[in-house]
């Protein structure tokens, strides 16, 4: 049998479960997740090779409407990264949250208007649907908004119907040689993953405003075999934010470091010595040049 291969963009507004779905399909944490919107900031590939078929999933930042307070360079970057992932794909998985349809879902649908590739609609988080009887009529209603290749209710968190979704995606791969070796699971480096894990703990542990003002840079990544030494610099916008991040007697930063380190040790299968530093870099999130130097580059 000949090989099949395909790029599959996972898109949707923030917080609908795109990264959770990708991790579920890959069976490991490739992309960070949190209950806050705008967790993912970059395109992240999750590569799954099963016999002759290679699926190259591309997790994307949530496509969002840029209101006055969200029209920063970082927001533009995130929307561009998501839109760019739609180019030249073999298939799109468009995720929505249960039976809600928001203005941002509408924006995503509009971005898909020019996409020729088949679009599968995944109605996620059905485990949390209060009234299950609303689902069937909703699938009919939402199905009228576009000619979807399929509409599949799923729970990315619990795995419900995810194999069915993958089987649907498999129909849309094209014949051709694999782009990646079969044991490769992502296009991102271990350094990138390390920085993301620190940011995930910040997203998960800190209050409302702060996580969006934070970015993480890896200053040192030294692999000594059994031990990996990692130094990460956490950049914030204001000195007040630095104080919050460090917390009373450094408790907060310690807890962030501990959780990030445990995840890193699991991912790298090695002991990790993690050092965290916090620095104020005013205006980094609205400065194109600063963003570039901090790794926010479109591929």
Ligand X SMILES: Nc1nc2c(ncn2[C@@H]2O[C@H](COP(=O)(O)OP(=O)(O)OP(=O)(O)O)[C@@H](O)[C@H]2O)c(=O)[nH]1
Nearest in space to 98 (alpha carbons), one of 165, 144, 155: 155
Residues that bind Mg ion (CB under 5 A): 18-19, 39-40
Give the 3-state secondary structure of residue 71.
coil
Tokens 């599968």 correspond to 120
99 in contact with ligand X (CB under 6 A): no
Residue 124 marked as a ligand binder: yes
Kindly tell me which residue out of 100, 128, 266, 279 binds ligand X, with binding defined by CB under 6 A.
128
Kindly tell me which residue out of 4, 155, 161, 241 binds ligand X, with binding defined by CB under 6 A.
155
Token pair recorded at residue 170: 């498999």
Tell me which residues in 161-220 interact with ligand X (CB under 6 A): none
Compute the least distance from the CB of residue 297 to ligand X, in Å.
Answer: 18
Residue 46 binding result from ligand X, Mg ion, none, given CB thresholds of 5 to 8 Å by partner type: none
The answer to whether 112 and 137 are in contact (CB under 8 A) is no
Closer CB to Mg ion, 204 or 238, in the complex: 204
209: exposed, middle or buried (C-beta count within 10 Å: 0-12, 13-18, 19+)?
exposed
Residue 137 marked as a ligand binder: no
Residue 247 marked as a ligand binder: no
Using CA atoms, how far apart are residues 153 and 132, in angstroms rounded to an integer? 11
157 in contact with ligand X (CB under 6 A): yes
Compute the least distance from the CB of residue 112 to ligand X, in Å.
Answer: 16
247 in contact with ligand X (CB under 6 A): no
Residue 60 marked as a ligand binder: yes
Nearest in space to 196 (alpha carbons), one of 44, 27, 70, 63: 44
From residue 149, give the alpha-carbon distance in Å to each of 9, 117, 168. 14, 9, 9
Kindly tell me which residue out of 3, 37, 115, 178 binds ligand X, with binding defined by CB under 6 A.
37
Nearest in space to 79 (alpha carbons), one of 98, 57, 97, 60: 60
Residue set of the binding site for GTP: 12-19, 59-63, 124-127
Q: Which residues would be at the binding site for ligand X (CB under 6 A)? A: 12, 14-20, 33-35, 37-40, 61-62, 124-125, 127-128, 155-157
């Amino acid at each position: 049998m000949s090989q099949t291969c395909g790029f599959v963009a996972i898109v949707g507004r923030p917080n609908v479960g795109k990264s959770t779905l990708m991790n579920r399909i890959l069976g490991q944490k490739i992309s960070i997740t949190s209950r806050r919107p705008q967790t993912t900031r970059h395109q992240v590939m999750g590569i799954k090779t099963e016999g002759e078929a290679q699926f190259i999933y591309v997790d994307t930042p949530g496509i969002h409407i840029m209101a006055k307070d969200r029209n920063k360079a970082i927001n533009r970057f995130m929307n561009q990264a998501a839109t760019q992932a739609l180019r030249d794909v073999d298939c799109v998985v468009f995720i929505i949250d249960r039976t809600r349809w928001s203005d941002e879902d509408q924006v995503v649908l509009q971005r898909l208007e020019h996409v020729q590739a088949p679009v599968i609609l995944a109605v996620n988080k059905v485990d949390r649907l209060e009234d299950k009887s609303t689902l069937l009529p909703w699938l009919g209603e939402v199905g009228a908004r576009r000619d979807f290749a399929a509409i599949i209710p799923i729970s990315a968190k619990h795995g419900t119907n995810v194999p069915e979704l993958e089987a649907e995606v498999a129909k849309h791969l094209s014949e051709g040689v694999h782009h990646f070796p079969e044991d490769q699971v992502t296009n991102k480096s271990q350094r990138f993953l390390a920085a993301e894990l620190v940011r995930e703990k910040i997203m998960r542990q800190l209050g409302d405003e702060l996580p969006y003002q934070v970015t993480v840079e890896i200053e040192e990544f030294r692999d000594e075999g059994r031990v990996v030494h990692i130094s990460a610099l956490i950049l914030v916008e204001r000195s007040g934010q630095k104080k919050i991040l460090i917390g009373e007697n450094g408790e907060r930063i310690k807890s962030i470091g501990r959780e990030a380190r445990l995840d890193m040790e699991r991912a790298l299968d090695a002991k990790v010595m993690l050092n965290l530093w916090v620095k104020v870099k005013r205006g980094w999130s609205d400065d194109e040049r600063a963003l570039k130097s901090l790794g926010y580059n479109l591929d």
